[in-house]
Structure 1
Amino acid sequence: MAERDSIGWQQQTLFALAAAAGLFSIGMHLPWRQALSQNPLLAAIQSTGQKQPTPAEVRARTVGPPAPLIYSPPARFQGQIIYHSQLPSKEKVIALTFDDGPWIETPKVLGILKEYDVKATFFMIGQHVQTYPDIAKQVVAAGHALGNHTWHHYTHQMDGATAAAEIDNTSNRIFQVTGVKTQLFRPPAGRLENGLAEYARNQKNSVVMWSVDPLDWLESTSPQSLVKAVLDNAQPGGIVLLHDGGGNRTRTLQALPPIIAELKQRGYRFVSVQELLEMEDREMNAIDEVEAKAKADNLKQQL
């Protein structure tokens, strides 16, 4: 973040379904392996582990003129603030996100991600998209998701008109350059009270924060400490904050390969924020179906 204005920031058991008819509580942890093996609806939320095509790959296979590539979170997440995904299955998936690009070092990040077959999400600054349009296109061509990170990366308090311009102008520029429409928004420095997040939420954007911030933008952060911070705090459904733009990103470039390699060794799969939210939505929908069926069965027994 332009060597960063001042960016610092940063179950109880989900009950199993009551044996015959009980309701089960969605905010707490369930013994999933047993429940999954016993209930076909819950089994449906268990990932096959097969790699799914990215939206860009699907679009590339479509006959005829390509439709706009749209990153629109499931309805339950629109207008919400997201720090991580609460996957009931606890599947080992994690999302790498990169802020402040496109930038001259973004292609190097893309090269590392390609080498390790990883898809990520890039939150772009509007004026950087204007300055480096070809690099923005490279990000999309490589199959990565895009998010909005405002036009100027302002962090101060602003009125509604200024907040709208910061977000809308960036969305428009991203679409004009890349053909991508996105409802993923990240406020500069994670500031939620300066007018930007409020406007984004009113526009049904998901405000995407993070669960892991290794402070890669700080000059005092060594590549080794960066790697340790990510690995020590990685959790299923996590969102990792990194930077591809706004300054010298040598530390991030050095830390990225060992971060990816070790997380893969631990069994993690990398997904975009859009994919992460879609996964949680599918799992929660499956749970909702089971809960609705349990209620219906209970009602029948009472009749």
Structure 2
Amino acid sequence: MIAPVRRLRHVRRATAVCALGAALAACGSAGTSGPARPAHARPAASASPSASHPAVLTPGPGGLTPVFEHGPRDRGKTVALTFDADMTADQGPRAASGEHFDNPDLIGTLRTLKVPATVFMTGRWADQYPAQARSLGHDPQFEVANHSYSHYAFTSDCYGLPTVGAGRMRQDVERAYASLRKAGVPHPLPYFRFPGGCYDRQALRALSAVGVTAVQWDVVSGDAFATDADAVRRQVLDGVKPGSVVVMHCTRSAAPTTERVVRAVVPELRKQGYRFVKVSELIAETNGHR
């Protein structure tokens, strides 16, 4: 049974995710009938992460897919910037008409600033931009993880998103991995980010056989369709704590200020003593935290 305080906290986070923008097809209304939140999985003892052996969490109670939100708060000033490369299964015509769901300038800025990052990529995005997916997958500065194939919701009340039936959830995730590998990503990580951040026990159970760790966040950047880069910058800086996971977007048309936000946020956080790491490193720190 989920403790009421955890459930309420999930509702508040869902509402915050909504502020990211329903226009990313990841948002709508949230209420107390929203997805339940499981207790955190117990960290597993794990070696330092590598491309072939990344750190993961052990399954939760009953074998449920474990959920990771942030790293330890008392192991130094580390922070992970994560970027969702969103593209839904039915957005091909929009891409063909010239809409940009990628953001090469953002990736270039991360490279120039030498900021490691984790990209949660939909299979449809990898299908559309295979050269960029391959480049990210072969660059040791980045790690590529799974964000579903179609960016459809894994619960029935996820902000108006079309939904994936329980019987197709595993297939959707496995299809995304197939697209990532086909695009040339050699080692997509066993991490999964639910579209919209929406999940419940049924979704965690459906993915248990895939062997992924579900990765959420504790800092919402608010970059989706934002026009005020400085407001997004302040929101990130106000939210970051040691071990934080920041959610941002790698989608030019839907998050046009993100590259400018990164250019502003990175030097400020470094000035405050923060070190940028990938999600796999935060999970490894969590595994070693007793």
Q: Considering the TM-score relative to the shorter chain, is it more than 0.5?
A: yes
Q: Distance in 1 between matches of 2:83 and 2:244?
A: 14
Residues 152-171 of structure 1, C-alpha deviations (whole Å, 9 max, x = no match)? 10124432332122101001
- Closer, same or farther in 2 for the Cα pair 1:76/1:116, shift >3 Å? farther
* TM-score of the aligned structures, taking structure 1 as reference length: 0.67
2:56 to 70, 73, 76: 73
Find out whether 1:147 has 2:145 as its counterpart.
Answer: yes
Check whether the contact 2:138–2:186 (CA below 8 A) recurs between aligned residues. no
Q: Is the 8 A contact 2:56 2:283 kept in 1?
A: yes
Does the 8 A contact of 2:57 with 2:213 survive in 1? no
Structure 2 residue 88 is matched with structure 1 residue 100: no
Deviations 1:54-95 (A, max 9, x none): 846xxxxxxxxxxxx4545154789311111124x3310000
TM-score (norm 2): 0.70
Seen in structure 2, the aligned counterparts of structure 1 residues 198 and 222 have a Cα distance that, compared at 3 Å, is farther
Distance (Å, rounded) in 2 between the aligned partners of 1:157 and 1:2: 15
Residue 13 of structure 1 is matched in structure 2 by none
Over 3 Å counting, the alpha-carbon distance change for 1:194 and 1:73 in structure 2 is closer
Higher Rg: 1
Worse overlay, 76-85 or 241-250: 76-85
Q: Superposed, which structure 2 residues align to 1:150-229 within 5 Å?
A: 150-155=148-153, 156-176=162-182, 177-193=184-200, 195-219=202-226, 221-229=227-235
SS at match of 1:180: coil
Distance 2:258 2:209 in 1: 34
What SS class does the counterpart of residue 188 from structure 2 fall into? strand
Residue in 2 aligned with 1:114? 111
> Equivalent residue for 2:286?
280
SS in 1 for 2:289: helix
| Contact 1:2-1:100 at 8 Å conserved across structures | no
Distance 2:125 2:180 in 1: 10
Question: Does the alignment pair 1:84 with 2:73?
Answer: no
Root-mean-square deviation (Å): 2.9
Q: 2:203 and 2:103 mapped to 1: Cα distance?
A: 25
Deviation string 1:161-216 (CA, Å, 9 cap, x unpaired) is 32122101001221232111321000000111395444234433111011001221
Identical-residue share of aligned pairs (%): 23
Gaps of 5+ in 2: 1-20, 31-47, 88-99, 154-161
Q: 1:6 to 1:256 in 2, by over 3 A?
A: same
Aligned 8 A contact 2:68 2:216 in 1? yes
CA distance in 1, matches of 2:210, 2:266: 34
CA contact (8 A) 1:150 1:188 kept: yes
Is contact 1:105–1:245 with CA below 8 Å preserved after alignment? yes
Structure 1 residue runs of 5 or longer lacking an equivalent are 11-52, 57-68, 285-303
268-277 or 249-258: which moved more?
249-258
Paired residue type of 2:199:
L
- What's 1:7 paired with? 27
Task: Give the partner amino acid of 1:137.
Answer: R
Q: What amino acid maps onto 1:107 in structure 2?
A: P
The answer as to whether partners of 2:49 and 2:284 remain within 8 angstroms in 1 is no
Q: Note closer, same or farther for the CA distance 1:76–1:191 as it changes in structure 2 (3 Å cut).
A: closer
> Could you say which residue in structure 2 is the equivalent of 1:262?
268
Distance 2:175 2:165 in 1: 16
Q: Give the drift of 1:104.
A: 5.5
- Matched residue type, 1:274: S
